[in-house]
Amino acid sequence: MENFIKQHLIKANSFHPYFEKALNEMLLAGGKRFRPNLLLAVVRAYNPLLTENAKYAAFALELIHTYSLIHDDLPVMDNAALRRNHPTLHVTYDEVTALLVGDALNTYAFEVLSKAPMHSDIKVELIKILSENAGANGMVLGQAIDCFFENKKLNLDKLKFLHLNKTGKLIAASLKMGAIIVNKPELAEKLYDFGLKLGLLFQVQDDLLDLLDESATGKSSGVDENKNTFVTILGENEANKKADILAVELEKELNEFDENLKNELGELLKKYLYRHKN
């Protein structure tokens, strides 16, 4: 995936002194590539020959995720100075550059998808899934609720709704898109539901990891102190119990998948299901 990303970086030839560098900086800074790898795991489970073609969709997911991180880190949102062990773009350059880079990565995701070597019907369905889950009824909705209710305590049901949208839906979309690429529509919804629960676990774990030192996470810590997180609402011990319950449930569901899918996803998830314990 890393080579694919390097081969498909954004070109912005102009007399701007650093815009092209800024466009690609957070992509090159690394990251877990969790969402792309979820999609590719599903594809490998059922049709490994489609893996190279599927990397276009995987990259589109990474572009959307990276844009969301850049915007999350802006002074108007979390005002974070570090991401992926790298200074955030508004720190290195300025707030306007960071804002516009996020905008560009968002739109480039759909340009990449449109150029994927797949049947047009598949591409339209992938664009539909990604836009629905990343937009006004998905990730962006979650971000809006997250920011509006800062310093205003939510109950557990509303907290869950917030994070299913902010984090869960893009993770769920990754799995669903993989199923669509390999022509498994009957599996797509099952994987989507699995992904929502996985996204919830991921968020609880991230909330717990926010308690750690920046050197352990590669991003600014303590930026969520005034936000609605599983730690601020439940406390650290109960958040850990919540993560344990979700991890056990997901492991059980994973073992009920067919052998190929269980093996591919299991290999990826073994380092994530219990990462709050490490």
Whether the per-residue pLDDT at 2 is higher than 70: the answer is yes
In tens, the pLDDT along 225-252 reads 789 999 999 999 999 999 999 999 999 9
Q: How far apart are the first and last CA of the chain?
A: 26
Predicted pLDDT of residue 254: 98
Relative to beta strand 82-83, strand 86-87 is antiparallel
Whether the per-residue pLDDT at 209 is higher than 70: the answer is yes
Average pLDDT over residues 86-98: 98
Predicted pLDDT of residue 135: 98
In tens, the pLDDT along 248-269 reads 999 999 999 999 999 999 999 9
Predicted TM-score (pTM) of this structure? 0.96
**Could you tell me the domains of the chain?**
2-277 (1.10.600.10)
Residues 6+ apart with CB under 8 A from 274: 247
Predicted pLDDT of residue 277: 86
Q: What is the phi/psi pair of residue 266, to 5°? A: -60, -40
In tens, the pLDDT along 121-132 reads 999 999 999 999
Whether the per-residue pLDDT at 183 is higher than 90: the answer is yes
User: Token pair 């970086």 is at which residue?
Assistant: 9
Reduced to 3 states, what is the DSSP secondary structure of residue 82?
strand
* Percentage, residues of the chain above pLDDT 70: 97
DSSP letters of 194-262? HHHHHHHHHHHHHHHHTTS-HHHHSS--STTTTS--HHHHH-HHHHHHHHHHHHHHHHHHHHTS-HHHH
Average pLDDT over residues 177-201: 98
Mean pLDDT lowest for which of 55-59, 131-135, 220-224, 246-250? 220-224
Predicted pLDDT of residue 221: 67
* Percentage, residues of the chain above pLDDT 90: 93
Average pLDDT value for the chain: 95
Whether the per-residue pLDDT at 72 is higher than 70: the answer is yes
Whether the per-residue pLDDT at 215 is higher than 70: the answer is no
Average pLDDT over residues 203-214: 88
Residue with the bigger pLDDT between 214 and 272: it is: 272
Whether the per-residue pLDDT at 208 is higher than 70: the answer is yes
Predicted pLDDT of residue 65: 98
The pLDDT confidence band at residue 216, using thresholds 50, 70 and 90, is low
Mean pLDDT lowest for which of 115-119, 181-185, 216-220? 216-220
Alpha carbon separation from 224 to 79, 146, 201, 228, 233 (Å, rounded) = 10, 10, 17, 8, 12
The pLDDT confidence band at residue 213, using thresholds 50, 70 and 90, is low
CB-based contact 221:210 (threshold 8 Å): yes
Pairwise CA distance, residues 206 & 159, whole Å: 14
Predicted pLDDT of residue 222: 66
Average pLDDT over residues 126-140: 98
